[in-house]
Amino acid sequence: MTSKDLSIFNSLRPFSIGFDDMFDQFENMLGNGGLTMQSNYPPYNIRKTGKDNYAIEVALAGFNKDDVEVEFEDNLLTVRTKQVDKSENKNNEDGEVIHRGISQRQFARSFTIADDVKVNGAELKDGLLTVACERVLPDHKKKRLIKIK
């Protein structure tokens, strides 16, 4: 038997129509029986900011907007560092760093975004990257009465 045969989602398939892509996405996220271990860096929040609005907040102390990129492709939103300068002991006009407690390591954090959610933009302010998302229901998904003939 394959992991697909054992999937909990297979027990739901007979009761649904058109959810195959969603079930496949969950199976990909779960991998072989469990969530893949992701680093907890950088920390993040996902907030619901309105009826159909969401904000993904990623704590990025020590980074500026030139150090980070936000990419959205094929329902996957990825926040990652661009190239980080590896010279930790470099002197600058502010002086030498005696202790480095603010991490500036490379990272990539990904979020799966639903088909009906669009990413409106991102803002980095005071060390907090906020990615604004909005759920947009197409007309064919909105509630309507079906006329009986």
At 95 the pLDDT is 82
Q: H helices within the chain, ranges in order?
A: 3-6, 8-12, 20-30
Supply the CATH classification number for the domain 38-87+99-141.
2.60.40.790
Q: Determine if residue 56 is left, alpha or beta; phi over 0 gives left, psi from -120 to 50 gives alpha, anything else beta.
A: beta
Contact 70, 78 (CB under 8 A): yes
pLDDT by position in tens, the chain (length 149): 444 555 676 777 666 667 677 777 777 666 644 444 556 889 999 999 999 999 999 999 888 899 999 999 988 999 999 875 555 545 566 788 888 777 678 889 999 898 889 999 999 999 999 999 999 988 887 888 889 99
- Which is it for the CA torsion 91, 94, 97, 103, positive or negative? negative
Domain boundaries, the chain: 38-87+99-141
Determine how many CB atoms are found less than 10 A away from the CB of residue 89.
7
